[in-house]
Amino acid sequence: MGLHPHVERMRSVYDAFEAGDAGPLLAQMTADTVWHFPGDNPMGGTFRGLDEIRTRIRPVPEDGEPLHFEVHDIASSGRHVVVLFHLTGRRDGKSLDVGAGHLLHVYGEGNVAEGWTIVENVSTFDEFWA
């Protein structure tokens, strides 16, 4: 049995994201997409619509070095896609080194209706973005 088409599509999307290009991931979203970021920090919260999400999903923070995403695995049930990755970065003298993931509720050809960023240590994530 081959890979689900969503896995193949998201693998190319996240390959671009790992290379610093958020465009293909944003292209999977619509004006109605909702994204949830964890924590009590400037990046945390629920963002609705592509314009709000675009301010949060970017491989290079405005005040730091590029974030590095090392994808470990991508799985799909058809309605959901799970992307597991290791996330590292530096900004304002702080460093980030956490396991993380994206849980995506998808429809159609893999368009993202809703997404969640999940990190293994929210307090580390909060300190990095504070």
Q: What is the pLDDT of residues 51-106, one digit of tens each?
A: 888 887 765 566 667 888 899 999 999 899 999 999 999 888 899 999 999 999 99
Whether the pLDDT of residue 46 is over 60: the answer is yes
pLDDT tier for residue 128 given thresholds of 50, 70 and 90: very high
- Pick the closest to residue 89 from 81, 100, 74, 103 (CA basis): 100
Cα(9)–Cα(91) distance, integer angstroms? 31
Mean pLDDT to the nearest integer, 18-36: 89
CA dihedral 18, 23, 29, 30 (to 10 degrees): 170
Q: What's the total number of domains in the chain? A: 1
What CATH number has the domain bearing residue 59? Answer: 3.10.450.50
Query: Which pLDDT score, from 0 to 100, does residue 60 have?
Result: 58
Query: Which pLDDT score, from 0 to 100, does residue 2 have?
Result: 74
Average pLDDT, the chain: 89
Range of the domain at 35: 5-129
Query: Which pLDDT score, from 0 to 100, does residue 30 have?
Result: 85
